[in-house]
Amino acid sequence: MLTREENELLCRVEGDAPMGQMMRRYWLPACLAEEIAAPDCDPVRVRLLGENLVAFRDSEGRAGLMAEQCPHRKASLFYGRNEEGGLRCLYHGWKFAVDGQCVDMSSEPPESGLCAKVKHKAYPTREAGGVVWAYMGPAAETPEFERPIFAPSENTRVAIFKIVSQCNWAQGLEGGIDSAHSSSLHSTDMPAARVPGSTATGTAWARPTTDKSPRLEAEETNYGFRYAAIRRPIQNSATHDYLRVTTFVAPFHIMIPPNNVYNVYQMSVPIDDDANVIYLCAWSDTTAGVDVEAWRKFTGTQFGVDLDKTYRKLNNRENDFGQDRKAMRLGDFTGIRGFPNQDIAMQESMGAVADRTSERLGASDLAIVQFRRTMLQAVRDFQAGKKPPGVGIRAADYKSYGSWERVVPKSTDWRAFKP
């Protein structure tokens, strides 16, 4: 469990909150590229670390991210005209380029010179892996942008979705690194089977184990930590273990053990103190990957079926996440469609910010404890003037460790093993 003060330090990200200020030293996902797919497209609202922003793509295809309220009289730029190289406020016609510079001011005489003097708050952006990334920290500390691990090249096929969750970012992330819960909560979508490893179909991820109480071991790193969930396999359990190794990269990246078709990657990005956006992607270095629509169907994140146009759940707390009790009686463990929605139902049921002062943790919660310890130490070090973990470390330095799952001899040292 955590103290109230520790829980606040871990969870709060708005304003001057230390965790939010530390997160601003990383490149952060702002939105999906598909949300601003074409030049001069409709702008979209973005809320990140408690800031209300608007994203758009200008006439040359460059992505922009700026404060939603116009600096003139604070009208929302979301309603603006995206045209001819900039976003124009409807109220008085002030127009801004992607870097925030005012480029036209139709309500002011040209000789005033005011236009050249006005620069709106805007953040630098980059694009990779179907995501628009933004840097929101001090310009002097801007780290070099690196392509994410799930998109090592422009040709990598990535199937990605996002889903808005009405709870704190740490709850979303803890769901992603909690290997033990998958054997219960996701048991319908991830059933036990006599297979050589984790095997994916269009409807399930079969696993070679019936063991629901894994033994966990963790290893700290200079970018976060890694841990192994060790289970008894269905076959050869006397001589072998079934290992699933997960990697956490600060501040909110999770390399989830893959299956036989694709790798899996999750990010839990803070909207504000009380909500987060979960990005989940499937990708492969060596194959064509997975079809985007097939991925969204399997995960229960299809537009019009599961999500509205703003990536919010149609099945939510108001309708009990669409839980089907009849399906449960017929064998479905949760009655909730899609494993991300199963996670979110549990996470949101804890409240917007879970009370971690009264938890009763067990041995299977080792990764949760390690995450909290890692991030609390990181933010305290940041307050003391140290660089946040992972900043300045090349992705290649930890990609080789990655995440993996395998049935291996019991003598295998997972820390040194590279499949």
pLDDT digits (tens, 9 = 90+) for 342-379: 999 999 999 999 999 999 999 999 999 999 999 999 99
CA distance 400 to 221: 13
238-249: per-residue pLDDT in tens? 999 999 999 999
Structure tokens at 27: 């490149």
Percent of the chain predicted with pLDDT > 70: 97
CA distance 212 to 352: 28
Between 295 and 13, name the one with better pLDDT: 13
Between 77 and 204, name the one with better pLDDT: 77
CA angle 206/208/210 to nearest 5° reads 100
158-185: per-residue pLDDT in tens? 899 999 999 999 999 999 999 999 999 9
* Structural domains in the chain plus CATH codes: 27-141 (2.102.10.10), 158-409 (3.90.380)
Q: What pLDDT is attached to residue 250? A: 96
Do residues 404 and 419 lie in contact, with contact meaning Cβ atoms separated by under 8 Å? yes
Q: What pLDDT is attached to residue 292? A: 87
Q: Is the pLDDT of residue 289 over 80?
A: no
As a residue count, the chain comes to 419
Percent of the chain predicted with pLDDT > 90: 85
pLDDT bucket at 219, cuts 50 / 70 / 90: very high
Q: What pLDDT is attached to residue 402? A: 78
**Residue 357 DSSP symbol:** G
290-333: per-residue pLDDT in tens? 788 888 999 999 999 999 999 999 999 999 999 999 999 999 99
Q: What pLDDT is attached to residue 200? A: 87
Q: Is the pLDDT of residue 419 over 90?
A: no
Cis peptide before 251 (omega within 30 of 0): yes
CA distance 316 to 327: 18
Q: What pLDDT is attached to residue 344? A: 97
Q: What pLDDT is attached to residue 291? A: 84
First to last CA, the chain: 35
371-416: per-residue pLDDT in tens? 999 999 999 999 999 999 988 776 666 566 679 999 999 999 999 9
CA distance 412 to 408: 7
Q: What pLDDT is attached to residue 202? A: 83
CA distance 233 to 160: 31
* Packing angle, helices 366-383 and 4-11, rounded to 10: 80
Question: What does DSSP say about strands 275-283 and 404-409: parallel, antiparallel, or unpaired?
Answer: unpaired
Q: What pLDDT is attached to residue 401? A: 67
Structure tokens at 295: 């991925």
Between 46 and 158, name the one with better pLDDT: 46
pLDDT bucket at 288, cuts 50 / 70 / 90: low
Q: What pLDDT is attached to residue 152? A: 84
Q: What pLDDT is attached to residue 61? A: 98
Which of 4-13, 187-196, 253-262 is most confident? 4-13
Task: Write the Ramachandran bin of 93: left for phi over 0, alpha for psi from -120 to 50, otherwise beta.
Answer: left
Q: Is the pLDDT of residue 233 over 70?
A: yes
pLDDT bucket at 75, cuts 50 / 70 / 90: very high
| Segment 137-154 mean pLDDT | 92
> Identity (one letter) of the amino acid at 417?
F
CA distance 123 to 115: 20
CA distance 224 to 416: 17
Q: What pLDDT is attached to residue 395? A: 66
